[in-house]
Amino acid sequence: MPDTSTSLLVADSNAALTSYAAYTQQGGYQALRKALSQMSPSEVIAEVGAAGLRGRGGSGVAAASKMARVASAQDGQRYVVCNAYDADPRSLAAQALLERNPHAVLEGIILAAYAVGATEAFLYLRSSREQAAATVQTALREAQEQGALGGAIFGSRFSLAITAVGVERGFMGGEESSMLEIIKGRPMKAQQRPPYPSEAGLYAQPTLAQNAETLANLHAIIARGAQALKAIGSQASSGAKLVTVITPGATPGTTVGRLIELPFGATLAQALRAANAEASEATTRAVVVGGMEGGALPLAQLSVPFDFETLQDAGAIVGSSIIETLPASTCMVHWAMERAAYLSQETCGKCVPCRVGVKRVAGLLEGIESGLGSKNDLAVLTEFAQYIPDGSLCGFGVNATHPLVTAMQYFADDFNAHLEGRCPTGTCAPVRAHRYALKHVL
């Protein structure tokens, strides 16, 4: 497995750097001091670009390109918004960063704000994660007291105010455009893009919206140079990724999650080994990569590298950075139906393809699981798998059909068995007594 010596967060509670003193003893805020005293904003952006840092929030967009677009905006107010929400509540990534290394996130926000010329920033997180919220508030106070935040940071001409915003709005609360609407005090609804936040984001001003993990990488890049990140990872994606590995618990129906730091380019098999997770035909039916909107891959795909393009080619996504093993007894029709039912409840409801389409997928899968399906249902599901992403406003709808598509692609025998009136694993029970009428597609 590639070297991980530049790890920014070891998934070990003993490595916590919650206080300002502990963080600075490990070199914290030296990158900020260096940037303010020795580098221009454009030089900071150039260094990030040379490092090849890609967004860790699931899209994989080059961080430097987003920073450059905001920095090049006409004179006026600019903002930085740090997304530390973890849309999939099972993800441990942002929570771990905020609880164990909050100053790395804060330093990243300040560096990004300096680079793009912002004087106000927001740290957006789940309010239900009380320990993370409390740790952030303490870190903000310490940074202010030590001169790392506020007016004339470290004696420079640069000033920045950071406001923590804690909300609990379900899966869609983590979607970028919905997040900006929530911060503005508006209803949680996805927004059409373009214009992108870098052009017209918070309060219609240029806004750099970045994932907390993306920003936490800025310290190492500026303090040690671009090679600090380039030294690990793949040719396409520099550095490592915080990944939550979820496996079945000791009690049926329960799961256990473990956080690891995985270099981009490492295989799914290597990720499971790093988390001490077993995945064999005797124990595991599939490996789901990407969280609630991720794709289910058979064990034959464990050689796939964990990277944006390679996962997309396989039918999965980086997404919420969750790798989940499904028990060998899992019926993939039932699994796909449960995912569709969950996502149909989490949509913001603004656009018809997502609001109606995902619910319709769940209903068709309920019919198949209940022995009411027909061969034509598979064709209709395939049509929805194209229609929903093509017509959706945001990434939620674009990714919502990955569970369906991969279940049908890799586990077609499960669907055929249900159409013949039997569950291949003997675990399914009818969940509805009638079919949807096809004329009610919309």
Q: DSSP for 196-228?
A: PHHHH-GGGS-EEEEEHHHHHTHHHHHHH-THH
What confidence score (pLDDT) does residue 15 get? Answer: 56
Task: Please state which architecture CATH assigns to domain 240-327.
Answer: Roll (3.10)
Q: Within 13 Å, how many C-alpha atoms sit on residue 291's CB side?
A: 23
Burial class of 70 by CB neighbour count within 10 A (0 to 12, 13 to 18, 19+):
buried
What confidence score (pLDDT) does residue 59 get? Answer: 82
- Alpha carbon dihedral 344, 169, 245, 14, in 10-degree steps, equals -170
The answer to whether the 13-230 and 334-440 domains have the same CATH topology is no
Q: CATH class for domain 13-230?
A: alpha beta
SS3 (DSSP) at 405:
helix
What confidence score (pLDDT) does residue 436 get? Answer: 66
pLDDT in tens, the chain (442 residues): 333 333 444 334 445 789 999 999 999 999 999 999 999 999 999 999 999 999 998 789 999 999 999 999 987 899 999 999 999 999 999 999 999 999 999 999 999 999 999 999 999 999 999 999 999 999 999 999 999 999 999 999 999 999 999 999 999 999 999 999 999 999 999 999 999 999 999 999 999 999 999 999 999 999 999 999 999 999 999 999 999 999 999 898 899 999 999 999 999 999 999 999 999 999 999 999 999 999 999 999 999 999 999 999 999 999 999 999 999 999 999 999 999 999 999 999 999 999 999 999 999 999 999 999 999 999 999 999 999 999 999 999 999 999 999 999 999 999 999 999 999 999 999 998 888 665 544 4
Q: What distance in Å separates the CA atoms of residue 176 and residue 164, rounded to the nearest whole number? A: 16
Q: What distance in Å separates the CA atoms of residue 282 and residue 327, rounded to the nearest whole number? A: 9
Residue 305 contacts by C-beta under 8 Å, 6 or more apart in sequence?
234, 264, 265, 266, 267
What confidence score (pLDDT) does residue 58 get? Answer: 77
The answer to whether 284 and 300 are in contact (CB under 8 A) is no
Question: pTM of this prediction?
Answer: 0.94
Assigned token pair, 399:
């990714």
Burial class of 258 by CB neighbour count within 10 A (0 to 12, 13 to 18, 19+):
middle
The answer to whether 314 and 295 are in contact (CB under 8 A) is yes
Q: What distance in Å separates the CA atoms of residue 194 and residue 95, rounded to the nearest whole number? A: 30
What confidence score (pLDDT) does residue 438 get? Answer: 55
What confidence score (pLDDT) does residue 376 get? Answer: 94
Q: What distance in Å separates the CA atoms of residue 389 and residue 358, rounded to the nearest whole number? A: 10
Cα–Cα nearest to 240, from 71, 23, 30, 51: 51
Element (H, E) at 26: none
The residues with which 207 forms a beta bridge, in sequence order, are 79
If you search the block for the tokens 């390109």, which residue do you land on? 65
Q: What distance in Å separates the CA atoms of residue 335 and residue 300, rounded to the nearest whole number? A: 19
334-440 topology per CATH:
de novo design (two linked rop proteins) (1.20.1440)
Domain-wise residue ranges, the chain:
13-230, 240-327, 334-440
